[in-house]
Amino acid sequence: MTSYLLPDEAATLALGAKLGRSLKTGDCVALRGDLGAGKTSLVRGLVQAQLGEVDVPSPTYTLVQSYDLPTYELWHCDLYRLDRPEDAHELGLMDAMLDAVCILEWPDKLGDLLPDTVLDISIQFDGEGRIATLTGWDGRNV
């Protein structure tokens, strides 16, 4: 378990950029934190570090936003509005977990379909800033 102090949004973007370099196809990241914690900001930092100033919207209504990054396809999912875990099949998410890198906001919406071997990131409020705690990333260069 490793914690990172994120005093401002720039620090969240930078952590996202760094994490993006250690991910590979087949990885699934559970990205946890309350509303407005900075989950989407972290993904924005990851994507923009690799693609430049592209738009990285929150997939609140679409549930999924995918990106062709240089070394992997990224699925950024916001599962807040997923009604039932089984709907993940229709969404193509279960296949994407094998063929892409999946980063899941509100991962517990998947219930038993959430893989056992997720890389966990939990973002907590800390005064004006945030603290990110990484679990399950041992052996990764982050």
Residues lying near ligand ATP in the complex (CB under 6 A) are found at 6, 8-9, 11-12, 33, 35-41, 58, 78, 105, 128-130
Between 43 and 114, CB nearer to ligand ATP: 43
Q: Is the torsion defined by CA of 142, 12, 124, 29 positive or negative?
A: negative
Of 17-25, 28-36, 38-46, 62-70, the window that binds Mg ion (rule: CB under 5 A) is: 38-46
Tokens (6 digits) for 42: 């972290």
| Location of structure tokens 């999946």 | 102
> What is the smallest separation between the CB atom of 66 and ligand ATP, expressed in angstroms?
17
**Exposure b/e, 97-110, CB count within 10 A at least 16 = b:** beebbbbbbbbebb
Between 103 and 119, CB nearer to ligand ATP: 103
